[in-house]
Structure 1
Amino acid sequence: MDANIKRFIGDAALRRDEIGESPCEVHSFQRGKELYFLKTSPAVYAETTYSVLREAAVLQWLSGRINVPEVMLTAQDDQREYMITRAVPGKPLAALIETKQPVLDLFTESLRQVQSVSIANCPFDSTAAVRLRELEFLVSQGLIDEDFDFDQWPGLHTPQDLLARLHATMPQEDLVFSHGDLGDSNIFVTDHDELHFIDLGRGGKADRWLDIAFVHRNLSEEISAASARKFLAQLPFPDAPQKREFFEQLDELF
């Protein structure tokens, strides 16, 4: 481990965070009364959106635009990239869903806040073409999530089938700032309904329907189809089911 990272952690105990499915490792630790997170990514992912140095750069750019974790320290060596962030306040929306509290308005406000970030000088490209090239690299290196399920999409059987489908259905994009993984584990809310966002490695310029697709899927799976339909109905523009399907398919192997 990098010497500066070790020095920051000191003799604090690292506790592994098992939430999430990415190849990154996340540990929490205490320094005094403050809670911090150490996130690392293997060097093979340095040119992908799994890179924690990319995520650190996104977080630093977003600081002052929306509420995101404060980056305390970054480092890298031959094996890994490292990032230490200060914990955000509040609870994840997943915890509210677990206790049957209403979250639809919080999801809607989360989407509004993220998409209100101006992309006029945004240096992060998360467009469909970039993400598809990333997916091709991951497939070629055997670095995809093997627990994929294509049953919902007739005609798809292998990762190569999916890549061909994605190339054939690449949408014309309406670019906004995108979180990239806007879900109930990555949105935190305080007692005063203040929102904070974590896990922004895929953040950047992308089609507005990427985040919408993720929220819609989250509501469908964790609450109800009716809640998901209501979310779409509240949007200030008509639904685009083909775009939603494209971004769900693009995410399946990550």
Structure 2
Amino acid sequence: MLPPAIHHFIGDAVLQRDPIGESPCAVHSFRRANELYFLKTSPAVYASTTYSVLREAAVLQWLSGKVNVPEVVLTAQDERQEYMITRAVPGVPLAQRLSTELFQTALRQLQSIAIADCPFDASAAVRLRELAFLVSQGLIDQDYDLEAWPGLTTPQDLLAHLHATVPQEDLVFSHGDLGDSNIFVTDKDELYFIDLGRGGKADRWLDIAFIHRNLREDLSTKAATQFLKNLDRPDSPSRRQFFEQLDELF
């Protein structure tokens, strides 16, 4: 049963499950007065993590007016779940128009956000505490693959390795999960960012690592290399690897 405010807003609309995404959050779309909305829920056990949809709602509200993000219409929570309703953004996923140029624009927009008053900490220390909790509760992604990193065979191995290799951080505003399904682009090349539960102050190489991996796996190694060459700083492979490793169990 949905909380009264959520139920009242949805009314008789049909909820359609969105199969895209790998997080424990459930996403359903629905239409109200010919507009498209999304209902996103996260189980209560994740309330202290970056999977929390109430955290995501707060990040979206803070970002409003700084970059293009979904409008938060309504939030609620009960003993079982957290709930968030957002209005759909225009455009299509960047996956349909994948390019190094659009990724560079996305990165520039996010890293240009002033963080002096940003209340969201997504630093390595915070994420490692979160990961330790998920590991202890058996809540990690069971499809993890550590073969790329010799010597790391268990989640505990990876967690210990991450603690031993935390880089010195250069904090900027970070999306935290910057991939081609979490950026929408309009026919006028306007960008919209979604799925910002992990957003906050974090090392600049977190988003760079995700973009590089996305281009490498879904476009070409050449495109990924060109993206790095176009950065305003030398590459830092060890920092990119740290953030790829950090993401493996999420």
TM-score of the pair, normalised by structure 2: 0.99
Tell me the percent identity: 74
Which runs of at least 4 in structure 1 moved beyond 6 Å after TM superposition? none
**Could you tell me how far apart the structure 2 residues matched to 1:141 and 1:67 are?**
35
CA-to-aligned-CA distance 1:154-183 (integer Å, 9 cap, x gap): 100000000110011010000000000000
Ranges in structure 1 where 5+ consecutive residues have no aligned partner: 98-102
Q: How many residues align?
A: 249
Partner residue of 1:162?
A: 158
**Could you tell me how far apart the structure 2 residues matched to 1:13 and 1:167 are?**
45
Partner residue of 1:221?
A: 217
TM-score of the pair, normalised by structure 1: 0.97
Of 190, 202, 207 in structure 2, the residue corresponding to residue 206 of structure 1 is 202
CA-to-aligned-CA distance 1:35-85 (integer Å, 9 cap, x gap): 000000000000000000000000000000000000000000000000000
**Could you tell me how far apart the structure 2 residues matched to 1:133 and 1:79 are?**
23
**Could you tell me how far apart the structure 2 residues matched to 1:96 and 1:66 are?**
20
Q: What's the CA shift for 1:96?
A: 2.3
**Could you tell me how far apart the structure 2 residues matched to 1:96 and 1:7 are?**
37
**3-state SS, counterpart of residue 31 of structure 2:** strand
AA partner of residue 29 (structure 1)? F
**3-state SS, counterpart of residue 75 of structure 1:** strand
**Could you tell me how far apart the structure 1 residues matched to 2:16 and 2:183 are?**
21
AA partner of residue 137 (structure 1)? F
Partner residue of 1:106?
A: 102
Partner residue of 1:26?
A: 27
**Could you tell me how far apart the structure 2 residues matched to 1:115 and 1:2 are?**
37
Partner residue of 2:75?
A: 74
In the alignment, structure 1 residue 152 sits paired with structure 2 residue 153: no
**Could you tell me how far apart the structure 1 residues matched to 2:176 and 2:15 are?**
27
Ranges in structure 2 where 5+ consecutive residues have no aligned partner: none
Partner residue of 1:100?
A: none
CA-to-aligned-CA distance 1:189-245 (integer Å, 9 cap, x gap): 001000000000000000000000000000000000000000000000000000000
Partner residue of 2:41?
A: 40
**Could you tell me how far apart the structure 1 residues matched to 2:232 and 2:8 are?**
49
